[in-house]
Amino acid sequence: MSDPETRRRRPWLAAALALLVSGLGHAYLRRWARAFGWYALITATLVFVVPDAAVDRVVAGERPPLVEIAPALIAVAASVVDAYVLAVRNNRAYERGSPATETAADASSSDRDGLTGSDAGAGSAEPVTDSTTDTVSCPHCGRDTDATLDFCQWCVESLDE
């Protein structure tokens, strides 16, 4: 969840999209590698595991034997559950206020001091460490960033300067 654009997502929508098109629920969550992975897995299951006759029956609108299409149904169900669980986890991280998320209060904290953008850290050469959390204040943009990184996740400037 290190995506700086983490926002609340609708778990039911992620699950519905994953059911509609393989990988689409994960794309909605902006989990691109997982979206491609699920798409590839379900497509490979349909091509290599499910018999061609069963796929032809589905395309023709007939019901194939459940045993023949069970592997594809299991893969789709796993994708739907995965998309739902990821959306729920994303929302929990968002509600906890993880370092990857920024609230309006965080964005306007430098505005209260009369400093904005690059003016916020113009007077300091060293990053300011906040002892209550694992964040440091960027000397370039003034935003709080993860203390374990050697660069600001917002302006991508080095914190070592």
pLDDT at 133: 59
Compute the chain's Rg from CA coordinates. 23
Q: What is the pLDDT of residues 75-128, one digit of tens each?
A: 999 999 999 999 999 998 888 875 444 444 444 444 444 444 444 444 445 555
Q: Where is pLDDT greater, at 62 or 104?
A: 62
pLDDT digits (tens, 9 = 90+) for 31-49: 999 999 999 999 999 999 9
151 DSSP 8-state letter: B
Residue 159 neighbours by CB under 8 Å, 6+ apart: 127, 136, 138, 139, 145, 149, 150, 151, 152
Q: Which residue has the higher pLDDT, 136 or 68?
A: 68
Report the percent of the chain where pLDDT is more than 70.
73
Beta bridge partners of 135: 130, 146
* CA–CA separation, 143 and 127 (whole Å): 10
* Sole residue written with tokens 């990053």: 127
Where do the domains of the chain lie? Answer: 11-96, 109-146
Count CB neighbours of 21 within 10 A: 12
Average pLDDT value for the chain: 79
Q: CA 146, CA 94: separation in Å to the nearest integer?
A: 16
155 falls in which pLDDT band (50, 70, 90)? confident
pLDDT value for 98: 57
